[in-house]
Structure 1
Amino acid sequence: MSPHAQPVALVTGTSSGMGLHAAVELARRGHLVVATMRDPSRATALTDAAAEAGVELDVRALDVTDHDAARACVEGVLADHGRIDVLVNNAGRGAVATAEQLSLDEVRDQLEVNYLGPVALTKLVLPGMREAGSGTVLTVTSVGGAVGQPFADAYCGAKFAVEGFMQSLAVVMLAHGVHVSVIEPAAVASDFVGNVARPAGVTDADPYAAQLDAYLARSAGAFADAQSARDAGAAIADAATATDYRFRWQTSEGATAFVGMSLADTDGSQVLGATRGWIA
C-alpha cells in the first residue's frame, strides 16, 4: 500500500453495537470503511452515528453465512476500491442452551455464523493481503472463545473453533506481513442479548430449568453492568490499527482478567470453580 493511500477496511455486523462503533471509529481514523450487515434497511443507526462523527461509510449487504454472497462482496470491494487492508470479522450470534436442549441444526447455525463465516471471509481477503505484503485480519470472538461457560455449549464451541483456526493461521501469515488476531469482549451493552436464541419449550419440568434460570438471572446482571458498545468498538479499532502485533486482544480489563484465568488453568479447575456458582 502506498504510504499516502487511504486504507480500506471491511467490517461485518455493523447494524448495531460494537460493530457499528468500530466501523465509525475506523472511518474517523482515516479508513475508507465498507460496513456490511445482513439487512441494509437497518442501517439508520449506523448512518446517524457516521453523520454525527462527520464521516461517510460504504454500506453494503452481507450475510456472512452466504459464502457466494461473501465472495461477491469481497470482489465488489476490490473492484471499487482496489484492495482490502483490514478485515474485521465482527458479525456473530449467541445461543443459550445446554447439550440436550440443542438440536444439531442449532449447533450448525452457531458454526456457520461464528466460525465458518469468518473463516470464509478471511480466505477471500488473504490472497490480496499476501501479495501486498501487508494487511490485518481481526476476528471479534468473545471471552467465550477462551472460557467455556454454562448454557453456551454451541456458542463457546464455535468461538473456541475460530480462535484455534486464527491462532494456527497467524504464525504462517506473519511471514507474509499479514497480522491475524482475535479480540475478546466480555459483556457489552448491545442488541446481542436480544438476538440470542433461547431454547424453546423449556418448562419447570425440564431437568436443567433451575440451572438455566440461575444462569439467565446472572447474565442479565452482567449485561446490565456491561462495557458500553462505544468503548468496545473503540477497542476493536485500536486493535485493528495497532502497529505492535499481538495475536490476542481484549476490550476491557475485566475481559483480560477473565480470559487470563482460563489460559493459565492447566487442569481446568479454575474455570469450573468460577462458573459453577453461575448456575447454583
Structure 2
Amino acid sequence: MQRTILITGASTGLGVSLAVQAARAGHKVYASMRNMDKRAGLDAATSAAGVSVTCLQLDVQDDTSIAAAVAKIISAEGRIDVLINNAGAGYVRSTEQALMSEVEWVMDVNFTGVVRCTKAVIPHMRVARSGHVINIGSVGGLVGQPFNEIYCAAKFAVEGYTEALACYVTPHFGINFTVVEPGGIKTEFANSVLKQVGDTGGLLDDEYLPILQAYISGSQARGEAAYQTADEVAEVVMRCISANNPPIRTRTSDWSEELCSLKTESDPDGKRLQAKVMQGFLGL
C-alpha cells in the first residue's frame, strides 16, 4: 500500500535513511529540512539508491513554514498518511552550566517542534479517519543520563505526548501514534554532541570535569554495542509504518532494550497501559 509520508529533519543522518527506505518501499515521500542549501546529502543518497523524493522547506520552529509545507502536500496528494517527526538536536551540559536560552532552544526543537508538526497534520488525518504519527524519541526519553538532563527532559515530554494522544485520538479517529527509541546512532549527530561539549564550555576546569570525562569515556567504550547505523534504525521505523497494529513505543536494538528494561518489561510496546488508560478515563 502506497502512503504519502512527510519526514522532518531529512538533510542528514536518520532523516536521509528514512527518506531513501520509504521511497524504495514505494511510498510518496516528502523529505523536509530547515535549510534547503543542505539537501546535497539527501540528493546524493536518493540518486545512489535510484529513488526520487520531493524535497520541501520546513522549519519545525516556524508555524508558517510548517503550514506551508503541509498545504503543499495536501494540495498535491489530498492526504498525509504518515508524519515522521525526526528533526531534533542533542545537548550535553549540566543544568548548572546551561544557559536558559539553550534550554529553551533544546525544548523547542525536540519537543515543541513535534507538537507543531503533529498539530498541523492531525486535522487532515482526522478527516480521513486514518494516519500514523511517528516520533523519533530516544532511550533518553525513558532513562535519564548524565549531562543529558535537558535533552532527556525534552524526550520524556515526547513520550508523554505520544502516550496521551494514543489513548483517545487512536480509538476515536483511527490515527496511530508511535515513539521510536534508539540508543546512539552512528551519524554526525553523535559526533556533533561530543564536539558541542567543548564548544559550549562543557569542559570547564571545575568539579564537573572528572564526571564529564568519565561520561565521555563510557560513551566511547560502549561503541559498537550502543550505536546503530541510521539505516538500522530506519528499518525499525519502516516496520512500524507497515504494521497493522503498530506499537506505541519501540526500542531499536538489544542494547536499548536492555537499558530500558526496568521500565518496559511489563509493557514493552505500551499497549497494556493504553488499554488501562482508555478504560479508566474513557470507559472504552
Please state which band the TM-score falls in when normalised by the shorter chain. Answer: 0.7 to 0.9
Q: CA deviation at 1:205?
A: 3.1
Contact residue 146 and residue 160 of structure 1 kept, 8 A: yes
Counterpart Cα distance in 1 of 2:204 and 2:19 = 43
1:227 aligns with 2:228: yes
1:190 aligns with 2:187: yes
Secondary structure, in 3 states, of the residue corresponding to 2:56? strand
User: How many residues in Structure 1 have an aligned counterpart in Structure 2?
Assistant: 261
- Map 1:131-280 → 2, pairs under 5 A: 131-175=127-171, 176-196=173-193, 197-198=196-197, 200-203=200-203, 205-223=205-223, 226-263=227-264
Q: CA deviation at 1:117?
A: 0.2
Report the TM-score when normalising by structure 2: 0.87
- What residue identity is the alignment partner of 1:234? E
- What residue identity is the alignment partner of 2:246? Y
Q: CA deviation at 1:66?
A: 1.4
Match 1:65 to one of 31, 54, 61: 61
Aligned counterpart, 2:25: 29
Q: CA deviation at 1:75?
A: 1.3
Q: CA deviation at 1:128?
A: 0.8
Contact residue 187 and residue 222 of structure 1 kept, 8 A: no
Superposed CA RMSD in Å reads 1.8
Query: Bigger CA drift: 89-98 or 42-51?
Result: 42-51
Q: Output one character per residue of 1:143-166: Cα deviation in whole Å (capped at 9) or x when no partner.
A: 000000000011000000111011
Query: Bigger CA drift: 142-151 or 60-69?
Result: 60-69
The 4+ residue runs of structure 1 with deviation greater than 4 A are: none
Contact residue 129 and residue 135 of structure 1 kept, 8 A: yes
Counterpart Cα distance in 1 of 2:45 and 2:256 = 26
Contact residue 184 and residue 190 of structure 2 kept, 8 A: no
- What residue identity is the alignment partner of 1:193? A
Q: Output one character per residue of 1:108-147: Cα deviation in whole Å (capped at 9) or x when no partner.
A: 1111011000111001111111111110000000000000
Identity percentage over the alignment? 37
Q: Output one character per residue of 1:173-209: Cα deviation in whole Å (capped at 9) or x when no partner.
A: 2121110110000111011123324263345531101
* Distance change in 2, residues 1:68/1:243 (3 Å): same
Report the TM-score when normalising by structure 1: 0.88
Q: With a CA cutoff of 8 Å and minimum separation of 6, indicate the structure with the bigger relative contact order.
A: 1
Counterpart Cα distance in 1 of 2:202 and 2:155 = 25
- What residue identity is the alignment partner of 1:181? T
Query: Bigger CA drift: 130-139 or 47-56?
Result: 47-56
Unaligned runs of 5+ in 1: 266-280
Contact residue 7 and residue 32 of structure 1 kept, 8 A: yes
Contact residue 197 and residue 203 of structure 2 kept, 8 A: no
- What residue identity is the alignment partner of 2:243? A
Unaligned runs of 5+ in 2: 267-284
Contact residue 125 and residue 131 of structure 2 kept, 8 A: yes
